Structure 1
Amino acid sequence: MKSSMKYLAAAAISLSLLPLSAPAFAKDKITFAAAVFAEAGRGDRVKAWIQRFNESQAEVEVEPIAIPFSSLANTVFTQMGGGGGPDLVRFDQTDFFAAIPSGRLLPLDGLVDDKSYEFLGPDRFMKVKGVRYGLLFDTTGYALLYNKDIVPSPPTDFDSFLAATKAQTKDGKFGYAYRATMAERAGFWQDLCNYVFGFGGRWSDKDGKLTLNSPDVIRGVTAYKQVYDAGVTPRGADAATYRRMFWEGKIAMNVDNGGVAAIFHQNAPQLPFAAAPSPFPDKAQGLIMTALVVNANTKHKDAAGAFIKWAYAPENQKSLQAAMGTGVGTKLDMSPEELAKQPWLKVYEGQMENALPQLVIGQEGKTPEIQQIVLEEVLKVLQENADPKEAMDRAQKLVERRVLR
């Protein structure tokens, strides 16, 4: 009896030493690296969006890692090559395609059920040889931005577009603007892609064979020169300058991406701008897209899957769109009131259904080298009156000899 009493007393003491409630389990923390986190304004909004995920979860936490765009790919690729790196990454299109052949990305077919989402058309580029390696994080196409006070009705074909640019170029104002210098090589390439794609040209065929000198590519280059020769652009102006000029009412029209429209909407609400499909024969235009990917080295596959499931829920896609100011990965159900405030969003969404990455498909990793050669030849067309066909024939031969050898 005494021994039993001693046992019960000892048990009572032991119970009294236990905490009143069981300790909470630590969250499974995953890291998410992106250049957008380093941006003022937009970066803070996206980090706040991620914080909403963290607050909604009992088991998973996402830690944003800000890496500047200029060093993100080198930093992350080096880490991945050593068996580490962040669990999630937002890659631009060039780095996304470069990461796949080396096995750096986790295939997502087991994490993403396509039938559960209404993805935008460019989602098709997130799969390579039938395997999903990413999800569109944010994306935008190109459309014709125009000042409604200067151009009440947007041109719908190239001839009327060119006529309108000439009519509005006077008194220190210009009808149009684009990039045509090697100082802005990346932007020059983007603007050229819109003309080439818009006239039916493609840098390669469906099998990845180079088509730099195809008749349709030459048509696009010729149209680019027509605009250049018309004297309707502020030659030499960089994008920051001519976008400011548009803002100031000094440029009537510009084919530009949806991110620019978002900036105008947020920072110049008084600007009477609108968007319309680009006035080219083919509906295809360039595509800017980033991919949300999972590092193949991750030890937190289920946690990454939980974030993906949350991020692509309709209400969270909508709040991401508000944070980014551009399109996201899925189609958004917008109210009439929301569309009335941002009518250009639907225009860009429609353009994206036919948009193409500004890459040489099949030669994505070699696009920068191909781009350099093509732009050098196009400059000869613009500045030296070189024949477009001869220039693109040279580009085709140079790329085959120097890049694809």
Structure 2
Amino acid sequence: MTGISRRTLLQAASGAAVLNATRSFAQAKETVTFAAATFAEAGRGDKLKAWIEKFNASQDKVEVQPVAIPFSQLANTVFTQMGGGGGPDLVRFDQTDFFAALPAKRILPIDDIVDASKYTFQAPDKFLNVEGKRYGVVFELANYQLIYNPALLKGGEPPKTFPEFLAAAKEATGKGQFGYAFRATMPERSGFWQDLTNYVYGFGGNWADGKQLTLNSPKVVEAITAYKQVYDAGVIPKGADAATYRRMFWEGKIAMNIDNGGVAGIFAAQNPNLKFAAAPSPFPNRQQGLILTALSVNANTKNKKACGVFINWMLQQAAQSELQGILGAASVATPVERPKADLERSPWLGVYDAQTPYALPQLVLGFETKTLEIQQVVVEQVLKILVGNADVQKTLDEAQSLALKRIERQ
């Protein structure tokens, strides 16, 4: 044999055998694709992919492949694929898309692959159980609370009641600073709806009772009246979009803001020297909005059992703890105690976590799939109240009538 020893050939043959065995092992694994917008995010995306690799390393029969799709494209992309009989096996849906996928039969009940009795789920888990069947598990919960800058408030303390809040906002306004900020323009329709919903929940109201719309109920009227009071008080940068007033907050120009924990995390990242804090929103009731994302199984999957292997791994304490650490201020499917060091560094994390039992999705409960149509009507009518000084009760009566007609036509 010219130039090659018998030993070298044996080593090469042995290496090839090992390589082929490795390939066969990898090929024997059942592959599950998992689509999520978070995989496309800077920072969190890479950490989540590394978290999934820990699952893959622990398995000899299942492998999860993350599929990164930007948030603005995820719903259209996945629903189109599902409509054609394909799509990823697992999908992280936001609450609006989850409730759109249900009636379209795009996702499967998972009671046969997830034994709920083995886990202690957080309160919002109940929204993923529909007509006695479970259609997903919580991936991420983002609660809303009052974020405040103690340096801009008298005594450095947050208001506990709505009258105290309004007075504090007025006192903190002036010389280029504002006491508060929220959305009140049609271009910010989605965020406007979120802010309105926090007031409605906080004053003990709801957009529906599960069977009937209640857009003009006494508690909703009270909430929108309060929203109007804040709008008229001269304490907000009128016309500012969320990106602008959130930047103003971390620059120390806004005293208070009701927003989700993800925004608090942005403030901490953008200005590490800003000594902000969080407290329960200053409304009569503790209920506030919730951004709920669910992990669901595509109805087209051929790998349902393998999907169950991953979901059950995700629900284990160690995986939940690491996931919550990656998500930041958000909570996960099961209660997870945060590391003491994290709470000492960012005490506001505990305030957001404590809100979870009182959190409600910012949807029209009972009319989840009609939320966007109802949202359009409500925002248009509330703008008449804010900008045109229309009567609150009469305008919400009109909203009720218009919304009923719109959803009946569909």
- What TM-score results when the alignment is normalised by the length of structure 1? 0.92
Given the alignment of the two structures, is residue 288 of structure 1 paired with residue 288 of structure 2, yes or no?
no
Q: Which residue of 2 aligns with 1:300?
A: 303
Of 329-338 and 358-367, deviating more is 329-338
Q: Which residues in structure 2 correspond to 1:206-285 (within 5 Å)?
A: 206=210, 208-285=211-288
Please give the alpha-carbon distance, in whole angstroms, between the structure 2 residues aligned to 1:19 and 1:255: 61
Q: CA offset at residue 20 of structure 1?
A: 7.7
Counterpart of 2:402 in structure 1: which amino acid?
Answer: L
Q: Deviation digits for residues 339-382 of structure 1, max 9, x if unmatched?
A: 21232222112212111111111111111111111101100100
Indicate yes or no: 2:170 matched with 1:139: no
* 2:343 matched residue in structure 1: 339
Which residue of the partner structure matches residue 193 of structure 1? 197
CA distance in structure 2 between the partners assigned to 1:253 and 1:19 by the alignment: 65
- Give runs of aligned pairs for residues 2-401 of structure 1, distance below 5 A: 23=21, 24-25=24-25, 26=27, 27-151=29-153, 152-206=156-210, 208-325=211-328, 326-401=330-405
| Cα distance in 1, alignment partners of residues 113 and 272 from structure 2 | 41
**1:119 & 1:251 partners in 2: Cα distance?**
36
Cα 1:21–1:219, aligned 2, differ >3 Å: closer, same or farther?
closer
Structure 2: distance between partners of 1:43 and 1:81? 27
* CA offset digits 1:98-125 (Å, max 9, x no partner): 1112221111111222222222111111
**Aligned-pair distance for 1:302?**
1.8
Instruction: Decide whether aligned partners of structure 1 residues 181 and 337 sit closer, same or farther in structure 2, where only a CA change above 3 A counts.
Output: same
Looking at structure 1, the residues matched to 100 and 179 of structure 2 have their Cα atoms a distance apart, in angstroms, of 38
Identity of aligned residues (%): 61
Q: How many residues align?
A: 388
Larger Rg: 1
C-alpha displacement at 1:89, in angstroms?
0.2
Gaps of 5+ in 1: 1-15
Aligned-residue CA RMSD (Å): 1.7
CA distance in 1, matches of 2:160, 2:119: 33
**Any stretches of 5+ residues in structure 2 without a counterpart?**
1-13
In 1, the alpha carbon distance for the partners of 2:165 and 2:212 equals 33
- How far 1:81 moved relative to its partner? 2.0
Note the C-alpha offset of 1:19. Answer: 5.2
What are the Cα deviations for residues 45-82 of structure 1, in whole angstroms up to 9, with x where unaligned? 21221122222222211111111222211221122122
Give the Cα separation in 1 of the matches to 2:341 and 2:143: 23
Conserved 8 A contact 2:373-2:406: no
**How far does residue 22 in structure 1 lie from its aligned partner after superposition?**
8.8
- Determine if contact 2:251/2:271 at 8 Å carries over to the other structure: no
The amino acid across from 2:102 in the alignment is I
Tell me the CA shift for residue 335 of structure 1. Answer: 3.6
Counterpart Cα distance in 1 of 2:83 and 2:96? 18
Inter-partner Cα distance in structure 2 for 1:342 and 1:108: 36
Deviation at residue 264 of structure 1 after TM alignment: 2.1
